Chains A and B, each alone.
Chain A
Amino acid sequence: MKKLFVPLAVATAAMFAAAPIAIAKADYESTMLLVQKIFYFHFATWMAMTLAIAICGVASVVYLFAGSKIADWYAVASAELVVVFGLFGLFSGSLWGRKAWGVWWQWDARVTMATMLVLVFLGYLMVRKYGGPGSEKLAAAMGIFGAATAPFVYKSVDWWRTIHPQTTVMKTLGEKWPGAWYLVLFCSAAFVLLTVLVLTARVHLEAMRSRLDDMYLAAED
């Protein structure tokens, strides 16, 4: 991974540099025109958040049941990313909502559930910070429950019809509007790469911290 890090970072930077240009050149959507273009980043950030939630969930399970320290590093790193990407998603969604539908905020299913997920993983970070010794295990419980509720967020839109676009929009996008579909994939890939990169760096930080703790303990011996 170390060898790949710099090339990947360069690639990601290039993708993020290219994305705005590609987005600006993309066709307008019929009803929402310019505003719809937020969608490319908005959707991509949810992809990144979902990936981070999945990683956190799995890592939490591994940490809780196998006691693996490395799993714990991945869990905390991905939890932070969930919060970051989640907040960006809520922010971009809010901007889009304001322009497209006239409201800064709407309590529809997906927004509510997404906010809830951000709160759950904020709770994860809070318990790690303020929970005292052994709080990694408590946080792992939050990670597991958070990841378990995430699938319901995805499906919630189908059950609770409001102004939010439903899940069918994405599935048929490839046929109806290929240009947009490829752009969505491109942006999502960029965000996913960004997630992987930041995750790697953050896990590295935790690894260093752990080494420092080990050295403290060894020094006492």
Chain B
Amino acid sequence: MIDFHDVRLVDVSRHFGRRRAVSHVSLTAASGDIIGLLGPNGAGKSTIIGMFATLVAPTSGAVTYGGQPARVLGGELRASIGLLAHELYLYPELTARQNLAFFARLYGLQPSAAVGPALSAAGLADRADDEVASFSRGMRQRLALERALLHRPRLVLMDEPFTGLDDAATEVVRARLHALSADGAIVVLATHDLDLADGLVTRVAVVRSGRLVADEPAAPGLRARYRSMVGN
């Protein structure tokens, strides 16, 4: 398994035709960090997450993992990356257990060992054999989170992980993320909800129209500080 202790975006840009999605962004995330990628919808947060995940190639600039680009590290790099995207990546026709077992096998894990704990962590042990199509958004979100973390990735990428979660579930996820970063994971969290990011993130990166307009350690009171920048 390939391991690294920091991920860097070095002056990356990405454009689609004439539309600039990301413009000259440089960002470093290290082991133990929880980077909050804040910004309004359409700012480019998802594209940046996609670049971290190796799914989107920048049109200029470089993305390095422990100093090496993805090209050099090859497919094995993806075993150290976990992504919880907005679309959730779950098969609605399969049960929760089947979804987890499939992805466990795909990542080379033993389903018997990995699926049970993941189901408990998601609080879905009693609904394990129900089809995902019958789940609420919150339940799917919890399951998708566990799916993303199944293989204990070094780089944890989350795009709006709190969508559809009630307060209790939100707390569980926050605790989970704290535990992950304490364990040495690199967490990058994209959200437009400043209140939820408060007290959770260690570093704040504000994105607006594809540009990084702020990049500093987090301090209490995110809403007050960044409300104007994020333009809520």
Contact = CB atoms under 8 A, between A and B. Distances in A.
Q: A133, A213, A220, A221 — which one has the most chain B CB atoms within 10 A of its CB? A: A220
Q: A213, A216, A217 — which one has the most chain B CB atoms within 10 A of its CB? A: A217
A133 B20 contact: no
A221 B18 contact: no
A133 B23 contact: no
B91 to A, nearest CB: 25
A151 interface: no
A7 interface: no
Interface residues of A, number: 7
Residues of B in contact with A, size category = under 10
A220 B20 contact: yes
Interface string B14-31: 011110100110000000
Interface string B82-114: 000000000000000000000000000000000
A129 to B, nearest CB: 13
Interface of B is mostly: strand
B20 A217 contact: yes
A133 B18 CA distance: 10
Contact of A213 (B17, B23, B24): B17
Given A221-B23, A221-B24, A216 B16 contact: no
A213 B18 contact: yes
Contacts of B24: 221
B207 to A, nearest CB: 15
Contacts of B23: 220-221
A134 B21 CA distance: 14
A134 B20 contact: no
A143 B98 CA distance: 40
Interface string A198-221: 000000000000000100110011
A32 B24 CA distance: 68
B16 A217 contact: no
A133 B16 CA distance: 6
Given A220-B23, A221-B23, A221-B24, A134 B16 contact: yes
Interface in B1-18: 15-18
A148 B23 CA distance: 39
